[in-house]
Amino acid sequence: MAVRHAQRRLIHIANIFCNLFHQCCVNYAKVDTIFRIPNGTVVTTLNTIFLSGFALYPTGPMRIVKPDGNSQFSIVMKTLFRILYFTGLNVIAVAAVAHDGHLHSESFNEGSSLRIWRNTAGKPIEEGSLLVVHDHSIVLENRGGDIFSIERSNLAKTDHAIVAKRLEKTQQINTQPISKFGVTAGVDVSLQLSPTLGLMKNSFGAFASKLKTHSDGRYFFVESNGIPDHRMMVGITAWQQQVPIPQPYTGDNAWQIPLHPLKASHPMSAKKNFFRGAIALAANGIPIFNPIKNDGRTDTFTAGELDQWGGHCGRADDYHYHIAPTHLQSIVGKVNPIAFALDGYPIYGFNEPDGSSVSGIDPFNGHTDKNGGYHYHATRTYPYINGGFYGEVSEAGGQVHPQPRAGGVRPASRPLRGARITDFNGSLKDGYRLKYSLNGQGHSINYKVLDNGSVRFHFVDANRQLTEETYEPRHRGDGGERGGRERRSPRGRRQRN
């Protein structure tokens, strides 16, 4: 018994080493044998390894079987082959190549769980889970761990369909582009090469002095304070008395864009959805909201709510755009996107990257290029930007989820009817001044962000009467047109001169 217990421990240890290695080598071999690991990620590795006439068919806890399916081997031999297999793959992985992998839906694992396989007459053959598909047979594992094979010609139609689906998914994996395997110490290394990663680095890299970016293989993260380099607010004729203040779009509250966008099975339009929060992120780190405001009707551009650059401030004093920031094209370059939708697809300006005219765009303001890649475009008429999402996104509470939350310091204000913003200047270091006219008279707001994060406001009316208000940072709230109380009576310190 003691010997048998020790043998089992050897097998357990060997399995741990092998499975850990497979976890590290996800997507680094070009083949057609499929692994199933607990988190549901589909990985692939070489299925052409034969040791002393034995073929390795790993799945879940790995097993070794003869090509004919006989599983009667000694425990010691199984352990030895597992260790040799692990060692061999370590050597191979140094120069391995990979396809661009991705997570698969649960439908991919159909047949991988225990099920009763039937013959052409509909009678049960055996209960087991599908391990490997060969040209003329399949390899199954039963509840007791025994491995056996069934001729595919003997399978019922429903079982044939499961096998065909498995082969189709395998073919999709193996026809993806090949990419070199590499590891660099101290930097992020994506396990999957993204079709848009280079574009993101080019576009956001044009604002490297203002932004921080990194990626983790699944997402591209952008950290920003939400304040662009250009002037803001000038030209707005429908104003809610909000002004731009820095936002905490950093750390866990950074913007995240999928590196591997996927076409949605049911694309969602922005005409009826996503009236809250951002739908895209400009190359300068400024969020882009739905052109239609949160009432579901008003076009912010035609209503006069936007400045000369297509932006304004939301109820958390968060600056954002509502139309395509085409003024960024001269900075990022004609061949690079000016923004990225939150589904991961790039947004270009009024022309194609090669300078040609845009044609054949769909209701989402996008189309597929000659290489099969999808992207959106800016337009001078509605929807101006991506008119929804061609790709997959998650929606919660009327907005894309997850996304950063703005950090306002004061309650939302009422619209100031008849006001027109005439000037805006200043800097984060020295403070800002916004000037506006109301009924032909000039007014101004001077404000500065203090070292402790508080914001001090000086409101100067047409009679040069000054009102001072200071607001301390409050809990992160929703930004943009997401709600919040109107500022009926200012809080903080108030002083009139």
Q: Looking at residue 167, what is its pLDDT?
A: 76
pLDDT, one tens digit per residue, over 6-61 is: 545 554 555 445 444 444 443 333 333 333 333 333 333 333 333 333 333 333 33
Task: Please tell me the predicted confidence (pLDDT) of residue 371.
Answer: 86
Contact (CB, 8 A) for 343 and 366:
no
pTM of the predicted structure, to 2 decimals:
0.62
Give the residue from 185, 220, 250 where a domain finishes: 185
Pick the last residue of a domain from 150, 185, 220. Answer: 185
CA angle 74, 76, 82 (to 5 degrees): 105
Residues 385 and 481 in one domain: no
Is residue 413 a part of any domain in this protein? Answer: no
169 inside domain: yes
113-to-1, 2, 45, 312, 410 alpha-carbon distances in Å: 32, 33, 21, 54, 55
**In a shared domain, residues 181 and 257:** no
Domain that holds residue 168: 1-185
Among residues 383, 405, 387, which one has the least CA distance to residue 396? Answer: 405
Burial group, residue 203, by CB count within 10 angstroms (0-12, 13-18, 19+): buried
What span, in angstroms and rounded, lies between the C-alpha atoms of 96 and 42? Answer: 17
Whether residues 392 and 435 share a domain: the answer is no
Q: Is the peptide bond before 228 cis (omega within 30 degrees of 0)?
A: no
Helix (H) or strand (E) segment spanning residue 2: helix 2-24
The pLDDT, as a whole number, for residue 162 is 87
11: left (phi over 0), alpha (psi -120 to 50) or beta: alpha
Total domain count, the chain: 3
Low-confidence ranges of the chain (pLDDT < 70): 1-112, 170-192, 475-497
Res 147: pLDDT: 75
99 contacts 179 by C-beta, under 8 angstroms: yes
Apex 399 CA angle, 398 and 402, nearest 5: 135
In a shared domain, residues 334 and 225: yes
Q: Torsion angle, CA of 186/190/196/201, rounded to 10 degrees?
A: 0
Residues 7, 138 within the same domain: yes
Q: By the 8 A CB rule, do 307 and 319 touch?
A: no
Q: What's the CA angle centered on 293, arms 203 and 412, to 5 degrees?
A: 100
Determine, yes or no, domain membership for 327. yes
Structural domain includes residue 100? yes
Same domain, 241 and 372: yes
> In terms of domains, do 124 and 235 share one?
no
Considering the domain architecture, whether residues 234 and 135 belong to the same structural domain is answered as no
